[in-house]
Structure 1
Amino acid sequence: MSDSIAQKRYLDWIENPALDKATYKELKTISGDKAQIEDRFYQDLQFGTAGLRGIMGAGSNRMNIYTVARAAAGLAEYIKQQGKDAAARGIAISYDSRNNSSMFAELAARIFVSNGLTVHFSDELRPVPMLSFAVRHFNCAGGVMLTASHNPKDYNGFKAYAADGAQLGPDAADSVAKEMARIKDLPAVIANSLTLEQARKSQLWQDMGSDLDAAYDEMLLQISLQSDVVARHSDLPIVYTPLYGTGNKPVRRILEKIGFKNVYLVKEQELPDGDFPTTPFPNPELPETLNLAIDLAKELQAPLVMATDPDADRVGISVRRSDDSYYTLSGNEIGILLMEYILKTKKELGILPDKPFVVSSIVSGRLSDRICAAYGCDLYRVLTGFKFIAEAIHEHEDKGDGKFQFGYEEAFGYLAGSSVRDKDAVVSCMLLAEMAAVAADEGETLLDRLDRIYATYGYAAENTISIVREGKSGSELIKNTMSEMRSDPFNGFSSLPIRSLSDFDKLIKINLENSKEGKLNYDRSNVLLYELEGLDFFCIRPSGTEPKIKIYFACYADTQEECDRKLENLSATVMDRIECLMDKDV
């Protein structure tokens, strides 16, 4: 979009007499600043399968009351088109601790009620997995979670959910986006809606609270596998931090219910605070995010440290070594620990069902292939995004005769049980704590269990590199980099033992060993996956929720030293090409 169009949009906003005073004042401060105007108005904030996510502020490319109102109105229209029954079943709404999340949630609820939709509104902040559970529990037609997950404090988001409790799929998201595009006068959407007081008095408004908590907890208790072992180690010290977010109450509650008595919180990070004062990036994927929790764990000699992000859909952990230092696990390591624990325990207890299956993403580690094979468990690989894991559960369990056991992504998202259809850090914390008790019962640590997995199934070296490029120019640079990689996919890679290339945008797989081309049975996605010898691979894709391009690497061998050597060589070769492309002028 040209500067003149961005400038026109800017003027359309600032000259609208219905614009609120705060937004008008903010926009006046950037008058004459072409770069700011361009960045805020060069596009509408994009609505996709992850809903909306962006920096908070004034402008069409920002998260604010107007872009949230448009998203809510578009989703309301989409649901109304499904009939009166869908409108009556309505929408479940929750929100996290971010600045403006509760206000955005109330605004969305006003618009839904104004459109004749029933609203089940969380009476306090609750996490993503509980919102997903609520959609299914209350038989809603959809759901909304106001959150930007693990992004920095300047961000917020509007996650939209379908009736199955999963985030909207590509077709549904496109339909909502089309409805949003028809809305031109954004202030009018708010002006024509009920006030919050009027909406709350409507028969369409229903609060959800302790009843939801009780139902969710009961579901979690059915997933617990070894409560008898927890009872023997109820005094096991565990350190937990909710990182100022929604995990605080549900995680503590379920740990207490399964029997743990010594759960210690990082007090500095306990209460809701959208400024995240001790951690600019409230992301448990980053080892430094766990520093305060690890300091507390050292004082207590706690064997397990757990951290959940603000909307409690991701969990990171650190475990104590024999020398009292702490090792922070990768997302893949947590994933295979949980997977192996669930499959192994169920088999030993005689409760592993016929036709069990696990779902993981195409960018997640490959040791899961070997673990699943050892337990006679099918493994389905899907595109990145937990909605695709949810689709696989629906396809193979709801519609088929398979029995879902576990799903995970390397980006620290995990799910056990099928009553939730999104990442669930609460059930993950419960099972990780339970696993720590089982390890203690057997005279070992979680690291001992991880080492045994490696010794049994092979060693791994896995890494993800993210390159951030913000704003319009950054978006174009990422787009151009993917375009150039796709047009010349093997340039610079002659030294690599590439067996195949899967292009998920063109939906083709090229087998370099026999020069044959096959079709991929996936939704289209901007992803290039290179498979090398054995289980080794690397993959390149732009993030769907952040201004970054991500490069995934994974190497496997009989020794850790060989894995590390292979990973170093692979990373250096691939990053030479990527960095060269990313350094180009747009």
Structure 2
Amino acid sequence: MRYRDKYELWINSDEIDTATKEELKSVKDEKELEDRFYKELEFGTGGLRGIIGAGSNRMNIFTVGKATQGLAEYLLKTYGDEASASIAYDSRIMSKEFAETAALVLCANNVKVNLFESLRPTPMLSYTVRQLKSKAGIVITASHNPRQYNGYKVYGDDGGQVTDNAANEILECINDVDDFSKIKKISYNEAVNKGLLNIIGEEVDKSYIDRVKNLTIREELVEDKAKDLKIIYTPIHGSGNMPIRRVLRELGYDNVFVVKEQEQPDGNFPTASYPNPEDPKVFTLALDMAKEVKPDIIFGTDPDCDRIGVVVKDNTGAYKVLTGNQTGVLLTHYILASLKETNKLPNNGAVIKTIVTTEMAGKIAEGFNVQLIDVLTGFKYIGEKIKEFEETKSSRYLFGFEESYGYLAGNFVRDKDAVIAAALITEMTLYYKSKGMSLYDALINLYDKYGYYKESLVSIELQGKEGQEKIGKALEYLRHSMKSTINNVKIIKKMDYKLSVEKDLVNIEERTIKLPKSNVLKFVLEDGSWFVVRPSGTEPKMKVYLSCVGNSLKDMDEKLESFKNNIMEIINTACNL
């Protein structure tokens, strides 16, 4: 169906309210109208994500209602009378409204719902699904995207984001909802009176906080020294303020200073247009505060509190925002070393990372005789592995992380969790302080021992239908027309995750990649450097991940800069097809 025909269906539908129709009629730019209607807002393995507004390719109560009606039908088909769901939401614009829309559509379909009384972090939703034995979960968030976005993430009964097979089944059910009149409705009061809608809060909060505190490894150290640590924390206008401060307070960290200008939930993100702890600019206010507080550690969480960024002081006295990989290797080493020292390191331990995350983690795991497992990009695949370990007893999960600032210890949550990470980062900082070291000192020690690994990410924004077509063409160019050397260094491996083939270009051999299919390419070079190209699953971007290994801080910086320039020249050629 052409975008203009879809537009007319919305304008003429009895199900669409007057305000939405007026918004659509006010759009005079034909390109914008096309972008609003040229496709349905795609339901991928992570659910929905898009710009808030009217139209089939936008986040609004109608697209949320349609997705939820499809989810309800999937749950009833799969679980029958036992169908149930838990729902949480963050501080974004329309998050509460979308959460209530989803709850009432499910209730109208006789699916029992647990809805949080107010905003909560994404990982708490994952925990709640497991704790309350729900068959599914929904969290309304667009994570770290700019203010104009919102999203709708779906979780399975294990507390992990639904992966490919379940997502495809849910999508089939959503596609069957071909008219908004098929979306069932019920009022809030009727849902409560029928016992279909249960409002949850403190009882779940307390059990979650207790589980997080129980992940403390060096309990005596924390009990004796926590009060000595100074912490600056910013929730960046999101949902992390309550749970992170509560965990730290109950563990005995009395000196926690919160950035006041970023403390309150606000979906407009007035102090951070891109509310992402990967962006150093979000720490500007925290760094101003640091001049007076002189903290041992600074950290910040994104709006749904599943990512955390860390700021440390380097050996020149300057503050430095750690990369996700740097924080990840620090945590990996701290957890493994602490477990070994306290005789708690199991023989079958495993650390999990994604294919775009630093290979330094593998070196550290190897040093502790711990298995390192790679999965596709997306924390849902780490959650899937934890479930597999539980079922097969093949390995014991110790820690998982991805380069995009996501970390998880413990197995009671099945998504990246910045509350857990905050507690462990704080403990780790306290441990090194007790040894007369900063986190930066600890990082340099790891580089000296395991090698100087450095990574970078370049995101190329390609908006609209034309952008999506350009991303597709660029990947096909790289898949079929890539040269055999880069700056005279041989490419020795090519991994094509769409075709599930890994090619050894030295020995001219192939092997099957035993991971779900995904339109991702990875190239490994003879000197240990590598790069990965993939379309973003949640944003109109193509992402290029790069990594190099050097002999020193200066050497790794220079190598990565040269490598990045060479790769981006190739990527720009591919994008300009």
What's the TM-score bracket when you normalise by the shorter of the two chains? Answer: over 0.9
1:494 Cα offset (Å) = 6.7
Distance 1:397 1:309 in 2: 30
User: Are 1:261 and 2:254 matched, yes or no?
Assistant: yes
Listed one character per residue, the Cα deviations across residues 431-484 of structure 1 (whole Å, up to 9, x for unaligned) are 111111111111110111111111111111211111111111111111111122
1:63 alignment partner, SS class: coil
CA RMSD of aligned residues (A): 1.4
Alignment of 1:446-525 (within 5 A): 446-490=439-483, 493=486, 495-525=488-518
Could you say which residue in structure 2 is the equivalent of 1:28?
25
1:322 Cα offset (Å) = 4.6
Whether the 8 Å contact between 1:69 and 1:189 is mirrored in structure 2 is no
Distance 1:96 1:326 in 2: 29
Alignment of 1:338-487 (within 5 A): 338-487=331-480
Whether the 8 Å contact between 1:297 and 1:303 is mirrored in structure 2 is no
Listed one character per residue, the Cα deviations across residues 101-124 of structure 1 (whole Å, up to 9, x for unaligned) are 000000000011111111011111
Which residue identity does 1:98 align to in structure 2?
R
Whether the 8 Å contact between 1:91 and 1:141 is mirrored in structure 2 is yes
User: Are 1:155 and 2:149 matched, yes or no?
Assistant: yes
Whether the 8 Å contact between 1:227 and 1:434 is mirrored in structure 2 is no
Which residue identity does 2:158 align to in structure 1?
D
Distance 2:219 2:79 in 1: 45
Taking every aligned residue pair, what percent have the same amino acid on both sides?
40
User: Are 1:207 and 2:199 matched, yes or no?
Assistant: yes
1:517 alignment partner, SS class: strand
1:487 Cα offset (Å) = 2.1
User: Are 1:145 and 2:139 matched, yes or no?
Assistant: yes
Whether the 8 Å contact between 1:332 and 1:412 is mirrored in structure 2 is yes
Whether the 8 Å contact between 1:366 and 1:535 is mirrored in structure 2 is no
Listed one character per residue, the Cα deviations across residues 266-306 of structure 1 (whole Å, up to 9, x for unaligned) are 10110110000010000001111111112112221102111
Whether the 8 Å contact between 1:107 and 1:196 is mirrored in structure 2 is no
Could you say which residue in structure 1 is the equivalent of 2:54?
58
Which residue identity does 2:42 align to in structure 1?
Q
Could you say which residue in structure 2 is the equivalent of 1:73?
69
User: Are 1:6 and 2:38 matched, yes or no?
Assistant: no
User: Are 1:314 and 2:276 matched, yes or no?
Assistant: no
Listed one character per residue, the Cα deviations across residues 81-113 of structure 1 (whole Å, up to 9, x for unaligned) are 1133531xx101000000100000000000111
Which residue identity does 1:146 align to in structure 2?
I
Distance 1:30 1:257 in 2: 52
Whether the 8 Å contact between 2:315 and 2:441 is mirrored in structure 1 is no
Which structure 2 segments of 5+ residues have no match? Answer: none
User: Are 1:93 and 2:87 matched, yes or no?
Assistant: yes
Deviates more, 1:229-238 or 1:128-137: 229-238
Could you say which residue in structure 2 is the equivalent of 1:102?
96
Pick one of 200, 211, 220 that aligns with 2:212: 220
Pick one of 110, 116, 139 that aligns with 1:122: 116
Whether the 8 Å contact between 2:232 and 2:298 is mirrored in structure 1 is yes
Whether the 8 Å contact between 1:227 and 1:259 is mirrored in structure 2 is no
Which residue identity does 1:368 align to in structure 2?
A
Listed one character per residue, the Cα deviations across residues 244-287 of structure 1 (whole Å, up to 9, x for unaligned) are 11100000000011110010101011011000001000000111
Distance 1:254 1:345 in 2: 21
Which residue identity does 1:222 align to in structure 2?
N
Whether the 8 Å contact between 1:492 and 1:577 is mirrored in structure 2 is no
Listed one character per residue, the Cα deviations across residues 60-97 of structure 1 (whole Å, up to 9, x for unaligned) are 0000011000111111111111133531xx10100000
User: Are 1:285 and 2:281 matched, yes or no?
Assistant: no
Distance 1:577 1:534 in 2: 19
| Pairs aligned (count) | 576
Whether the 8 Å contact between 1:302 and 1:320 is mirrored in structure 2 is no
Could you say which residue in structure 2 is the equivalent of 1:82?
78
Distance 2:458 2:329 in 1: 21
Could you say which residue in structure 2 is the equivalent of 1:304?
297
Which residue identity does 2:214 align to in structure 1?
Q
1:415 Cα offset (Å) = 0.3
Could you say which residue in structure 1 is the equivalent of 2:44?
48
Which structure 1 segments of 5+ residues have no match? Answer: none
Q: Judging changes above 3 Å, is the alpha-carbon distance between structure 1 residues 242 and 189 closer, same or farther for their aligned structure 2 residues?
A: farther
Which residue identity does 2:30 align to in structure 1?
K
Distance 1:322 1:493 in 2: 35
Distance 2:484 2:441 in 1: 42
Pick one of 175, 179, 184 that aligns with 1:185: 179
Listed one character per residue, the Cα deviations across residues 383-438 of structure 1 (whole Å, up to 9, x for unaligned) are 00011001111122332231111000000000000110001000000011111111
Listed one character per residue, the Cα deviations across residues 146-184 of structure 1 (whole Å, up to 9, x for unaligned) are 000000000000000000100011111111111111112
1:375 Cα offset (Å) = 0.6
Q: Judging changes above 3 Å, is the alpha-carbon distance between structure 1 residues 397 and 490 closer, same or farther for their aligned structure 2 residues?
A: farther
Whether the 8 Å contact between 1:142 and 1:162 is mirrored in structure 2 is yes
1:354 Cα offset (Å) = 2.2
Alignment of 1:154-173 (within 5 A): 154-173=148-167
Distance 2:155 2:489 in 1: 41
Distance 1:179 1:457 in 2: 49
TM-score of the superposed pair, with normalisation by structure 2:
0.98
Distance 1:126 1:311 in 2: 7
1:564 Cα offset (Å) = 2.3
Distance 2:82 2:350 in 1: 31
Which residue identity does 2:27 align to in structure 1?
I
Deviates more, 1:307-316 or 1:211-220: 211-220
Distance 1:429 1:400 in 2: 29
2:397 alignment partner, SS class: strand
Whether the 8 Å contact between 2:487 and 2:566 is mirrored in structure 1 is no
Distance 1:463 1:143 in 2: 33
1:539 alignment partner, SS class: strand
Listed one character per residue, the Cα deviations across residues 3-60 of structure 1 (whole Å, up to 9, x for unaligned) are xx100000011011331011011011125x3212211000000001110000000000
Distance 1:104 1:46 in 2: 17
User: Are 1:38 and 2:31 matched, yes or no?
Assistant: no
Distance 1:537 1:285 in 2: 21
